Each structure stands twice: as structure tokens, then as C-alpha cells.
Chain A
Amino acid sequence: MDFIIAKYNYWIYIILMMVGFYAMIAKTNLIKKIIGMNIFQTAIILFFVSIAYKKGGATLPILTSADAHGEHAIQVAQYLNPLPHVLMLTAIVVSIATLGVALAIAIMMYRKYNTLEEDEILKAIK
């Protein structure tokens, strides 16, 4: 039990990822697949954000005074690691672009075949 509770952030990310993965693989509706893809990507974003967390009351890295020495020296332990957040900013942009392309292609198919079910589209192609 401790194993689950102590690392609950990883468990949540794994569960979310598997939900998305299942939807991507098993669903035949294209929009459901796209939603699954988005959940999958969001799970990874949550994973990255959670690894930036530090225990012991660390806060946002907003520096009031930047002094490398002396009494205002920057204590790294007091601040969250900002780098994973920044990486995820890029990853969010990537995932939105992927979502956009996927939706555009889904619309293209809907206009042509008047359905969003993969098996019906396959039948229409043959």
C-alpha cells in the first residue's frame, strides 16, 4: 500500500496513459481515438510536471534578489525545478499541433465519407 501511496503521482500518470492508450488502439471512432491520443499526451505532461516537485515547501522559482553569495544566496532546495515545466510548454505546443492535424484529417474524411467510424470508411474506400 505504501508503495502505491508514496508514489501516487506515477500511478496516476500510468493509469491515465493506459486509458489513452486503450482508446487509441481499441476504439473505432476517429474522434474517440483523437481524445485517447490527447489523454495519452497529457499523462506524459503530468509526469514531467510531477518530477519537478520537491518536498519540504519548495515554491515557484521567482527570485526577489539574485545574489550568488551572502545572506540572499539562492537556496536550490527552496525552489521547484522550472525546467520540466518549460519542456512541457514545448510539448503542449507539439500536442496541440498533433491534435490540429489529426482533427483536420478527421474532418477531411467526414466530408468525403460522411462518417467517422473507421470500419465504415474502410468499406467506402474498397
Chain B
Amino acid sequence: MIIEQAPALIVIIVLMSAVATPLIGWLRKDLCYFWVILALLASTLCSVSVLNTVMHEGVIHYSMGGWLPPWGIEYVIDHLNAMMLVLITGTSLLVAIYSRRSLEAELPDRTVYFYTLFLLQVTGFLGIVITGDVFNLFVFLEIASLSGYALIATGEEGAPLAAFRYIILGTIGACFYLLGVGYLYMVTGSLNMADLAKILPGLYGSKVVIVAFAFFMVGIALKMALFPLHMWLPDAYTKAPSAASALIAPLMTKIAVYIMLRIMFTVFRPYFSVDLLPVTKILLYAGIIAIFMGAVMALAQRNFKRMLCYIVIAEVGYMVGGVGIANAVAMKGAILHILNDVVMTLGLFAVAGILAYKMKNNEITAFDNIFKKMPFTMAAFLVVALSVIGVPPTCGFFSKWYLIQGSVIAGNWIFVVALLFSSLVNVVLFFRVIEIGYYDFGVSGSGHTHEDCSAVSEAPLSMLIPTFIVAAAIILIGLYNQSILINIINFAVPKL
């Protein structure tokens, strides 16, 4: 009985808990933390059960309120979004556990509202992924974005301006998406994805459909921070509170990639988006440029968190380029990379948050001797860094392997070069941190160094445990990548 309702419960539990959070905070402020964890735990269990059902029984169709599609809003869960649901709920649960101490340090008097927005943000993410209705997706996209703007604006000096710029660009992106929905509605009279997919093939010659598709792609590229449209990302993610950036940075861009896959391969057929229009070619080169520029600009950064932001931009290039190659192997790599990149980015931003919490400083040059001061944090960091570089037992290697294999099959060597270049740059980036962290340079003068050493110690357990779970997940996903591929991702790859 309750299992049947699980698709709706995933979203509703989080939404209702978000509404109840201010009330609970009004009763007792410290209860909020446990309330958020409880809500996200329930939602995680629901999404795991949904993934289980999808793996054993196939695609789930859930009609909201008993209204049948195409009139009512339908939740459709196939292998791709079942995986995304587990990722989102799992990530947000870990970030919620992690957030307590960093919030006490950064936003001591605003924790209740932070958690309210936090849950609303997760609601938006879950809704985007689970829905089978293009307009419903827009509404959830705006819920996620609006709570994201507010979360980012609560950050350090300069965060409001970064959030403001993000609002302007994010709104343009969402409005373009909405225009795409409008143009599709003009010619089809439907908003349901499956229904659109049925009606559209007869209209592929229509200019309206092509315009709609163009609006969709530009709008989503803005939300995804694909290279020339990435301007909002580094400032916003660098200046956001650590807990907020640990939630938004792994998920927002990857969910935009998910929307792109949905629009390209569910609403439109591969015949339209791959064969008829040169979209994949454009995506491939956009991805390559994003990888190069993201890597080069990451090299120029002195702030650790800002460097991670440019790595995120480069990683978006991986996925977009993988979709642009448009063969089954590269597509498999791109979808696996969505999974890996969420986990890796979460690990990176979790470490950045711990460092910000302990050092009150995110400049890379301030990290000297950090391996001695915080051995456990840096051990986790080492695992994540190796995975971003792409060293075999970790998960980052395997998605890169499939991407490279796919582009070799397609005969596209520039993408191979871009991937290898980005791996090399990642080696430089992370070994710079490791080198500074491993040795005692005594930057702050002779007498002060030892006092500083004793001041900085290992991170609190509530931050360490989620970081360790992420590090363990990176290795486990790497080791079990074959069974993930066979059981989930092979079903999610669109039939080209």
C-alpha cells in the first residue's frame, strides 16, 4: 500500500517537512537539525524502494491525484531518474548531517530558515527529476532555483551580489525553458512528455518545433553553466555558505544535464536531436571548450573553493561532450559520470567546507602542513582528488574510460585530447594542494607557526563521517561499476 505511493511520498515528505520546519524551530531551535535528517532519511528510504521497484518491475507511472495523463500530472520513473532520486536524497541527507557545525559557525542565528530553504531546494530537485510533465518541471526548476538564490545570498561578503547576478541569469534560463514549453504547446496542445513524444514525430519539419528545441537547449545550458554561459557559477558557489554550496554544487548542474537528456531523448526522439539537427555537434564542441577553459581557469585560482567551481565547469563539459559524441558507449560514460560527478563534487565541497570551518580561510597557500593537522580529512580529500584525476580503483576513472572509448569509436580525437588535458591539469591542481599541505613551510613567520598548528585540529565527527561515507562511496562505485552499469545505466542509455 505505502510502497505504491512511494513516488509521491519522496517529494511530499520533503515539501511538508519544509513547511513544518519554521514551526519546529519556533518550539525548539536545535530540534530542526534532527527534523531535517528524519525527513530526508524517510525520503531516501522511499527513493531506494522506488529504485528497487524500477529495477525489478520496470518503469513506474504514477498519476497524481488519480488524474490520468495527458490531462493530469504524471510521475514517470525509469532507470535514469530512479538513480537520480537516490543520488539527490542521499546527497542531501549527507549534507544535512554535515551542515550542523558549519552552520553554527557561519549562520548562528539563521539556522531555522536555512533548513527551511534547504528542504525546499531538495523538493525542487526531486520534483524536477521525478515529473513527467514539462510545465511541472518548470515550476520545480523555479522552486529549486529560488531557494538556491536565497541560500547563496546568506553567504559571506559579496554573496548577495553573486546571488543577484545568478537570479538575473537563472531567470533568463528558466524563461527560455518556459518559452520552449509554450512553442511546443502551440503545435501539440500537450504538456505530458510521453504524449509529446507521440505527437511530435509528425511535426519535426515545423519551424516552431525547432525554435522550441533551441529555447530549451539555451535555457538549460544557462542553468547548467555550460562554458560561455557559466559566468554566474564561480562567484555564487564560492561565496555561498559551505553547507549550501555542498548541496547546490553537486546537484544543480547535474540536474540540468538530466533535463537536457530528458528533452533530447524522451520528449524529442534521437532521430530529431541527433540526426536531423546538428545539435550534438554543437554540444560536443561546447563541451570541449568548457573542458579546456574550465581547466585553464582553475589553474589561475588561489582560492580553493573557487578552484573547485572551475573544476565543476570543466566536469559539465565532460557530460555535455559525452552526449555530443552520441554513441552508446559515450552516452553510458556521460550518464555514469553524472553519478560519479555528484559524489566527487560533494566530496570536494565537503572538504572545502571543513577547511573553511577549521582554518577560516580558503586560500591554498594557507594550507601548509595540513596533512599533519587534519590527517583524516586529508585522507578523504586524497581519495576524492584521485577520483577527479581518474586513477583506476576510484569511480572517476571508469566514466572517463567510457567517454574516451566512445570518442575513439566515433573517431573524435579532440575530445580525447580534452579529457586527457583536463586529467593532467587536475593532477597539477590537486598536487599543488597536496604539496603545500604535506610540508611545513612556516609561511606565517618563525614564532607563530607552532601556535597556529595547535589551533587547527581534526574536524568534528559530524563533518568527518559524511565526508568518509563519500570517500567510501567513490571507491565502492568504482569497484562495483560493472553491476551499476548492467543493472541501471544500460537501461537509461537512449536507443540511438
A interface list, Cβ under 8 A from B:
21, 24, 30, 33, 37, 40-41, 44, 47-48, 51, 83-84, 87, 90-91, 94, 97-98, 101-102, 104-106, 108-109, 112, 118, 121-122, 125
B139 contacts across to A, CB distance below 8 A? 90, 94
Q: Which of B135, B150, B168, B178 contacts A44 (CB 8 A)?
A: B178
Cβ A51 vs Cβ B172 within 8 A:
no
A125 contacts across to B, CB distance below 8 A? 157-158, 161
Q: What 7 pairs between A and B have smallest CB-CB spacing?
A: A125-B158, A94-B142, A109-B160, A108-B160, A105-B160, A105-B153, A102-B167
CA distance A79 to B132 in the complex (A): 28
**Is B175 an interface position by the 8 A CB rule?**
yes
Cβ A98 vs Cβ B186 within 8 A:
no
B157 contacts across to A, CB distance below 8 A? 125
CA distance A104 to B167 in the complex (A): 12
Q: Which of A24, A97, A102, A108 contacts B142 (CB 8 A)?
A: A97
Interface centre among A21, A83, A112 (most CB of B within 10 A): A83
**Is B164 an interface position by the 8 A CB rule?**
yes
Q: Which of B142, B164, B171, B174 contacts A109 (CB 8 A)?
A: B164
B interface list, Cβ under 8 A from A:
135, 138-139, 142, 146, 149-150, 153, 157-158, 160-161, 163-164, 167-168, 171-172, 174-175, 178-179, 182, 185-186
Cβ A98 vs Cβ B167 within 8 A:
yes
Q: Which of A24, A47, A122 contacts B182 (CB 8 A)?
A: A47
A107: nearest chain-B partner, CB-CB: B160
Task: Given A24-B168, A30-B164, A105-B163, decide whether A40 and B149 contact each other with a Cβ distance below 8 A.
Answer: no
B135 contacts across to A, CB distance below 8 A? 87, 90
CA distance A40 to B171 in the complex (A): 9
B150 contacts across to A, CB distance below 8 A? 101, 104
B268 to chain A, nearest CB (A): 21
A107 to chain B, nearest CB (A): 9
Cβ A40 vs Cβ B182 within 8 A:
no
B161 contacts across to A, CB distance below 8 A? 109, 118, 121-122, 125
Q: Which of B146, B164, B179, B186 contacts A106 (CB 8 A)?
A: B164
Cβ A98 vs Cβ B182 within 8 A:
no
Task: Given A105-B160, A125-B158, decide whether A84 and B168 contact each other with a Cβ distance below 8 A.
Answer: no
Cβ A44 vs Cβ B167 within 8 A:
no
B178 contacts across to A, CB distance below 8 A? 44, 91
Cβ B185 vs Cβ A101 within 8 A:
no
Q: Which of A21, A102, A112 contacts B172 (CB 8 A)?
A: A21
Cβ B182 vs Cβ A48 within 8 A:
yes
B73 to chain A, nearest CB (A): 12
CA distance A122 to B160 in the complex (A): 11
CA distance A87 to B248 in the complex (A): 28
If A51-B186, A94-B138 are given as contacts, then 7 extra A-B residue pairs at C-beta distance below 8 Å, sorted by A number, are A24-B172, A41-B171, A94-B174, A98-B146, A98-B167, A101-B146, A104-B153
CA distance A30 to B171 in the complex (A): 15
A87 contacts across to B, CB distance below 8 A? 135
CA distance A40 to B142 in the complex (A): 16
CA distance A121 to B167 in the complex (A): 17
A109 to chain B, nearest CB (A): 5
A90 contacts across to B, CB distance below 8 A? 135, 139
Task: Given A21-B172, A40-B175, A44-B175, decide whether A102 and B164 contact each other with a Cβ distance below 8 A.
Answer: yes
Task: Given A33-B168, A44-B175, decide whether A98 and B185 contact each other with a Cβ distance below 8 A.
Answer: no
A84: nearest chain-B partner, CB-CB: B185
A41 contacts across to B, CB distance below 8 A? 171, 175
B143 to chain A, nearest CB (A): 8
Task: Given A94-B139, A118-B161, decide whether A101 and B167 contact each other with a Cβ distance below 8 A.
Answer: yes
